Amino acid sequence: MSTVLAESQLLADDAAFREVVPAGEPFMKVINKGQVVRILDLEGNQAVDTLFYSAADSEERYDANNTIREQGNIYLTTGTVLLSNQGNPMLSIVADTCGRHDTIGGACSAESNTDRYALEKHHMHSCRDSFLLALAKWDNGLDKRDLSSNINFFMNVPVTPEGGLTFEDGISEAGRYVEMRAEMDVIILISNCPQLNNPCNAYNPTPVEVLVWDPQ
């Protein structure tokens, strides 16, 4: 599947919900079946690490392996159906003005910062920290054991000919977005990535906005 750019017909003024997520902060919300959620890159080049869980049964959650296998492509774009670990459609990408999103690079953590960069980077804030902070505030029984494969919206993670991964400058710009229709009631968990050690955020994390529309 090639990159597919597609603009949305939905207007921000008609959104039932909208919230700006500051740089480095988490966000968590239930998105009901039929609702459309948009993640908007306000200033450009901002990675947004995202997890999805079934709101009915959190043991069912987004699965990168199933999603990649079924679509035959390692990148996510318009037309991608995000599948759960039970093989069920969770969300469908219905609009995308960025064109390509990563789902194999994983979320940054204190351990990965130390391993990839330097021992003194261990204390730096990470997406794993943000995920755990949100789960603690949500208080719904989810904990660190529930952090599974995630999506890195707007993040540029090319695969080398040898099969390795590199973290490169982002391909998003200010105002670009990805939009998904929920195919079941889902919990969306976001870490607006605080990473400062590689160019995924242009070394300058910035806010994003989350908008939700009710079914038309």
Asked if 176 contacts 97 with a C-beta cutoff of 8 angstroms, the reply is yes
- The residue among 127 and 153 whose pLDDT is bigger is 153
Q: Could you list the beta-strand ranges (E) of the chain.
A: 17-21, 26-31, 36-41, 48-54, 81-83, 89-96, 151-153, 177-182, 186-192, 208-213
Confidence of residue 106 (pLDDT cuts 50, 70, 90): low
Phi–psi pair at 104, nearest 5 degrees: -125, -10
Gap between the Cα atoms of 98 and 6, Å rounded: 9
**Does the structure show a pLDDT above 80 at 18?**
yes
Q: What is the pLDDT of residue 167?
A: 65
Mean pLDDT, residues 46-58 taken together: 94
Q: Is the pLDDT of residue 125 over 70?
A: no
Q: What is the pLDDT of residue 36?
A: 98
Total Cβ atoms within 10 A of residue 158: 12
181 has a pLDDT exceeding 80: yes
Least confident of 50-54, 126-130, 205-209: 126-130
User: Edge-to-edge, what's the strand order for the sheet holding 177-182?
Assistant: 17-21, 208-213, 36-41, 177-182, 89-96, 81-83
Tell the residue number behind the tokens 């070394």, with chain if given. 203
> Of all residues in the chain, what percent carry a pLDDT higher than 90?
56
pLDDT of residue 128: 75
pTM score over 0.85: yes
What is the structure's pLDDT at 200?
56
